[in-house]
């Protein structure tokens, strides 16, 4: 009998897309799956669509009244999963029909120390309808060093492409004190398990206005926390310390630069530059750090006008800076 795959569908206010996400599971060429729908307190009608499947033998519903940390919802869904493998999907994305079948077959030829099968995915621009292959890490085999070095160079693991052995989640459960670990889960998995890269795109992620939260303080601060904790694991290899330090420096620098370019929080910007210097004193010569630090002493209105001028000169599309409720 084919091993069971537990698909965990995480959603929040995605009424426009959730049906396509669910359909993409029912349309899989692989048959032995269960679907766990975890809705994090939607108020837009998403849960009404999910409730249509309450009598399906293959669907488990976790429809919550409140919005909580995604890490909490992850754990609640994982606890309900009965499959040997886990596949994650978000309510505004979808799988191609052979996603699960292809990855289960790949696992058949891999040993016990292989925990993740992953690959690239398509990115679908909802405004234009254009679909292209998105950049992602091609980590294969022992993957921690590659993941650390690829983070800004090639991109990270496509978040919905992997098929993951459930034992990975059992041995490395999500933190419950942060909003979401997102890709940082794969840093932890790579401490003990090998990754297999398959180059064919098997998933589609949508790009639309309501998911464009890449430039959020919370997101980059979560990455700070996860990277800080990574080296505390006993199994963290010492030969990866240099790669980890380099990534932390780049993350501090990026946050400082984006704060100036997108939001203007002088205190936060200066703190990130200080943190960068603690790890690598040579960052004092980083031209972006010099510019960002200088800008923190200028009037905000001047910095905003200068940024607008830069965007105009270089024909750059202005990115919005998304504040979290507690940042207001």
Residues in CB range of 236: below 8 A, 6 or more apart = 191, 230
Distance spanning both ends of the chain, measured CA to CA: 54
Domains, the chain, in order of start with CATH, read 5-211 (3.90.550.10), 217-327 (no CATH)
pLDDT (0 to 100) of residue 126? 84
Asked if residues 32 and 5 have their Cβ atoms less than 8 Å apart, the reply is yes
Distance of alpha carbon 107 from alpha carbon 112, whole angstroms: 9
pLDDT (0 to 100) of residue 211? 57
Per-residue CA distances from 216 to 192, 213, 227, 266, 273 (Å): 31, 6, 17, 15, 17
- The 10 Å Cβ neighbour count of residue 63 is 17
Closest listed residue to residue 96, CA positions, set 246, 205, 223, 196: 205
For residue 59, give the H/E element and its range: strand 59-63
Phi and psi, residue 20, nearest 5°: -65, -40
CA angle at 16 for the pair 12 and 18, rounded to the nearest 5°: 60
Q: Which two structure tokens, joined as six digits, stand for 300? A: 């905000």
Adjacent-strand bridge partners of 39? 11, 63
* Block mean pLDDT (10 aa), the chain, length 328: 95 95 98 97 95 96 93 92 97 97 97 96 90 93 95 88 97 89 91 97 86 63 93 96 96 88 81 95 94 85 73 61 38
pLDDT (0 to 100) of residue 25? 98
Helices (H), the chain: 18-26, 46-50, 70-80, 99-107, 144-150, 166-171, 184-189, 217-230, 241-258, 266-279, 287-295, 300-313
pLDDT (0 to 100) of residue 309? 73
pLDDT (0 to 100) of residue 213? 46
């Amino acid at each position: 009998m084919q091993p069971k795959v537990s698909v965990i569908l995480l959603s929040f206010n995605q009424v426009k897309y959730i049906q396509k996400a669910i359909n993409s599971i029912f349309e899989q060429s692989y048959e032995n799956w269960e679907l766990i729908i975890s809705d994090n307190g939607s108020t837009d009608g998403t849960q009404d669509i999910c409730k249509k499947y309450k009598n399906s033998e293959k669907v488990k519903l976790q429809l919550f009244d409140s919005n909580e940390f995604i890490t909490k919802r992850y754990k609640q869904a994982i606890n309900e999963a009965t499959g040997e493998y886990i596949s994650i999907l978000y309510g505004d994305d979808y799988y191609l029909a052979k996603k699960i079948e292809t990855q289960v077959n790949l696992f058949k030829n891999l040993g016990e120390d292989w925990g993740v099968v992953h690959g690239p995915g398509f990115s679908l621009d909802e405004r234009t309808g254009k679909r292209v292959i998105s950049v992602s890490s091609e980590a294969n085999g022992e993957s921690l060093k590659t993941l650390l070095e690829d983070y800004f160079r090639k991109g990270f693991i496509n978040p919905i492409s992997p098929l993951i052995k459930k034992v990975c989640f059992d041995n490395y459960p999500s933190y419950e004190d942060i909003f979401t670990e997102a890709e940082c889960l794969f840093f932890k998995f790579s401490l003990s398990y090998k990754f297999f890269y398959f180059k064919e795109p098997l998933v589609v992620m949508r790009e639309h206005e309501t998911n464009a939260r890449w430039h959020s303080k919370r997101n980059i601060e979560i990455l700070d926390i996860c990277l800080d904790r990574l080296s505390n694991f006993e199994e963290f290899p010492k030969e990866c310390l240099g790669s980890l330090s380099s990534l932390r420096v780049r993350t501090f620098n990026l946050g400082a630069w984006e704060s100036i370019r997108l939001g203007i929080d002088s205190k936060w910007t200066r703190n990130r530059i200080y943190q960068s210097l603690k790890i690598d004193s040579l960052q004092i010569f980083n031209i972006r750090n010099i510019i960002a630090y200088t800008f923190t002493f200028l009037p905000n209105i001047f910095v905003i006008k200068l940024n607008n001028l830069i965007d105009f000169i270089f024909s750059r599309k202005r990115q919005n800076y998304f504040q979290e409720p507690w940042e207001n």
